[in-house]
Amino acid sequence: MKVYTRSPKALAAQKGTMEFLLINHPLDCPICDQGGECELQDVAIGYGRDVSRYSEGKRVVADKNIGPLIATDMTRCIHCTRCVRFGEEIAGIREMGATGRGEHMVIGTYIEKSVDSEMSGNIIDLCPVGALTSKPFRFNARAWELTQVEAIAPHDSLGSNLNLHLRGNKVMRVHPKDNESINETWISDRDRFSYEGLYSSDRLTSPMVKKGGEWKEVSWEMALEMAAASLKEIGDGDQIGTLISPTSTLEELYLAQKLMRGLGCNNIDSRLRQGDFRMDATQNSVHWLGSTLSDMDQMQTVFVVGGNIRKEQPILAHRLRKAALNGAKLHYLNPIQIDLDHTGEQDICTPGEMAGRLAAVAKAAGVKASGGAASLLKAAQVDESAKQTAANLKAADGALVMLGAMAQAHPDYALLHTIAAALADATGAQLSILPASANSVGAQLAGAVPHLQAGGSAADRSGLDTLQMLKAPRKGYLLLGVEPGRDFWNGSLSMSALQSADLVVAISAFRSPELEECADILLPMAIFTET
């Protein structure tokens, strides 16, 4: 069989189709943000007529406000319904839909609601015309003025691939870079739109020193000399605390811990939001996701303990949704009810009951444990929900027991971890510790935790963890990329400890009222687009 694509009949059909697509489409190309990368432009040039034969009045559609991130020009819409299908088939939340028929068909949200999905920005990329565009980027640049640079997402712990679009040295917008094994063709809204904060007026551009309660700009030489001399002046390395952001690069993490260990300080930690560190003394392994993302959507059972995955790691939530669509059984144990974009069983309890509910599942799976977990297992009441979760984990050919951010912030995290590990071992599942930040795993490998040295092996002498450094304030602190009062499990405790210190040296990309209140020396650092 032969298919002719350039025959007179085929060409006439192509031109006719293009005429129908362009009947109501306005000639907005000179002012449209999609200009230069518009699919309709491309096919109109390739397959359309040179002159329009349509002389009737064109349809006009009122623009809709669907939120702060996506701008609408619905007169340009060609009713391809890609945005509708994305919500239904990918995001799992039907936020966009079509009403009316024929020429009166309108794409919009239900009774003027906003689009709130954590992956909503992807419909901007999917829209083949300029009907849906980025509000923050609107009228800022043309596509041909931008240079594309590859990057890694700074907010998720999965390594989503990004394309940064620059004009000069300034990031103008962020798009996903295709990587089927990680983020496929999607990114979350926080990775897409957070670039706006990079150029905040709070950006720290010069070293500053607090003198008499006032901040003064100084030279790099003076600031570095003062920081080094002040840290050395403390003398006892055990009286220094080093708190590092887990979003730091591997090089920053390694150099920070190497510097501080060289000063005799082993009080180094990057687990700022963890609520319990008791297992550091007995476990020296590096905690990670436990599975590749490409394998995640093939799992048959996933048991999430203390995690709102849609908010913590949206791309991972998309993988779990795919697993659910493939028939996987998903179970959640949380202190709050969460919004799911797939079918799953939720067991909701108070924070104090979480360990007991997890122990009930472990008991149903036949777990035998010792120590504090043994008494909890013995007292656990096994109900039908616990039995079903345990049975699904045992029957699955590919299962995960995942500890999320709420579990890691729990004051009994060590107990939750012990029971979850025993449950995974008893059922043949893989234990998964959902990394809290972009480089949480890298921080462990770089030695930016008190009980591990670079490479992930046990440290010769373990220092204090984050909670210990804050509950027993040190004389001095070094902060790397940390926002006091915001980044910690207990913000008020962190501010109290830092304010009581004799010296706080903060290396940060931004100034903040909290940082200026507790720090003595501020040193600027590069943001992720500059490293």
Three-state DSSP at 171 gives strand
Task: Render 84-125 in DSSP notation, one character per residue.
Answer: HHIIIIIIS---EEEES-GGG-EEEEGGG-----TTTTHHHH
Distance CA 385, CA 154 (A): 37
Residue 103: the pLDDT is: 80
Tens digits of residue pLDDT in 437-448: 999 999 999 999
What does DSSP assign to residue 184? Answer: B
Greater model confidence, 286 or 224: 224
Main-chain phi, psi angles of 482, to 5 degrees: -105, 135
pLDDT of the residue at 239: 97
Confidence of residue 151 (pLDDT cuts 50, 70, 90): very high
CB 81 within 8 A of CB 107: yes
What average pLDDT score do residues 227-239 get?
94
Write out pLDDT tens, residues 90-101: 999 999 999 988
Residues 29-51, mean pLDDT to the nearest whole number: 91
Which domains, ranges and CATH numbers included, belong to the chain? 8-133 (3.30.70.20), 146-199 (2.20.25.90), 208-282+439-524 (3.40.50.740), 295-400 (3.40.228.10)
Q: If pLDDT is split at 50, 70 and 90, which confidence band does 456 have?
A: confident
What is the mean pLDDT of the segment spanning 227-237?
94
Q: What does residue 447 show for φ and ψ, rounded to 5 degrees?
A: 85, 20
What 3 state SS string does 22-81 have? HCCCCCCHHHCCCCCCCHHHHHHHHHCCCCCCCCCCCCCCCCCCCCCCEEECHHHCCCCC
pLDDT value for 281: 80
What is the mean pLDDT of the segment spanning 235-255?
A: 95
* pLDDT given at position 104: 85
Query: Would you say the pTM of this structure is higher than 0.75?
Result: yes
